[in-house]
């Protein structure tokens, strides 16, 4: 850890051997995880170190969902760490990390747009929802851009509000009519989501030549 901290300080923007932002952040995270100094919490600290490195190079805290994106890709994350932790030059890791940083920025943009849309939706519906409907809508919005996994159902509505199935069906129909929710499916297969545009996060990778490659459009949403 003493050698790691010395390296981290030497490669800082104002240090004697500065490195580019993504390179330094990726290597810092990788080196720290290889040292693995604590029994627990190394992943969280490692992600914080990477974000600190980016902040130092940018001159301000980065508005990017780096930690969230790494966690969303945790299986690939563990795999690429395992494959590279015996190599002196972790090139494959840096390619993966750079692509994740780019995807993290796209997730951040999608999340910010969701928060703006959420505010507009709530402003438009102010005073129009009954207490049950408002409680359910806020619960759906609290799940983030992805909403309820699989969509909100009438059964979910009953569980959240403690009301009857008939009242839940009526409330949901009213929320669709006033533009609070969007429905897909019919009857017991009906599922609902907040009436906010979905913004898929397109996954990317960086090839061995350093080119950004956009992968097929993902149905995954920023969460």
Tokens (6 digits) for 37 = 């100094």
User: What confidence score (pLDDT) does residue 54 get?
Assistant: 93
Q: What is the pLDDT of residues 161-200, one digit of tens each?
A: 999 999 999 999 999 999 999 999 888 889 999 999 887 7
- Tell me the C-alpha distance between 68 and 104, whole Å: 8
User: What confidence score (pLDDT) does residue 149 get?
Assistant: 77
User: What confidence score (pLDDT) does residue 65 get?
Assistant: 83
pTM of the predicted model, to two decimals? 0.74
- Tell me the C-alpha distance between 45 and 49, whole Å: 6
Tell me which DSSP letter residue 152 carries.
B
User: What confidence score (pLDDT) does residue 42 get?
Assistant: 93
10-residue mean pLDDT profile of the chain (223 residues): values are 96 96 94 94 93 92 85 91 83 92 90 94 96 95 82 93 95 96 89 88 82 67 42
Q: 164, 111 in Cβ contact below 8 A?
A: no
- CA distances 2 to 9, 35, 70, Å, are 11, 11, 26
- Tell me the C-alpha distance between 107 and 22, whole Å: 17
Domains located in the chain, CATH noted = 2-109 (1.10.3290.10), 113-194 (1.10.10)
- Tell me the C-alpha distance between 154 and 160, whole Å: 10
User: What confidence score (pLDDT) does residue 122 get?
Assistant: 96
User: What confidence score (pLDDT) does residue 220 get?
Assistant: 43
User: What confidence score (pLDDT) does residue 218 get?
Assistant: 43
User: What confidence score (pLDDT) does residue 119 get?
Assistant: 96
Tracing tokens 């969007």 back to the chain, one arrives at: 182
Q: 191, 150 in Cβ contact below 8 A?
A: yes
- Tell me the C-alpha distance between 134 and 143, whole Å: 15
Q: 66, 54 in Cβ contact below 8 A?
A: yes
Triad 194, 197, 200: Cα angle to 5°: 115
Tell me which DSSP letter residue 12 carries.
S
Q: 166, 136 in Cβ contact below 8 A?
A: no
Residues shown for the chain: 223
């Amino acid at each position: 850890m003493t050698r790691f901290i010395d390296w981290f300080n030497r490669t800082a923007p104002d240090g004697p051997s500065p490195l580019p932002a993504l390179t330094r952040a990726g290597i810092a995270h990788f080196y720290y995880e290889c040292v693995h100094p604590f029994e627990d919490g190394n992943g969280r600290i490692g992600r914080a170190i990477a974000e600190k490195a980016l902040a130092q190079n940018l001159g301000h805290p980065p508005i990017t969902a780096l930690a969230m994106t790494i966690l969303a890709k945790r299986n690939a994350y563990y795999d690429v760490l395992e494959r590279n932790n015996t190599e002196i030059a972790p090139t494959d890791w840096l390619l993966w990390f750079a692509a994740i940083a780019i995807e993290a920025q796209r997730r951040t943009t999608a999340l910010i747009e969701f928060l703006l849309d959420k505010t507009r939706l709530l402003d438009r519906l102010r005073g129009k929802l009954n207490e049950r409907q408002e409680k359910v809508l806020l619960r759906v919005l609290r799940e983030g851009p992805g909403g309820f996994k699989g969509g909100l159902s009438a059964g979910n509505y009953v569980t959240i509000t403690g009301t009857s199935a008939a009242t839940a069906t009526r409330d949901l129909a009213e929320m669709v009519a006033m533009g609070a929710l969007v429905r897909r499916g019919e009857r017991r297969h009906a599922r609902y989501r907040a009436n906010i545009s979905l913004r898929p996060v397109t996954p990317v990778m960086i090839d061995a030549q350093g080119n950004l490659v956009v992968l097929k459009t993902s149905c995954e949403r920023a969460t």
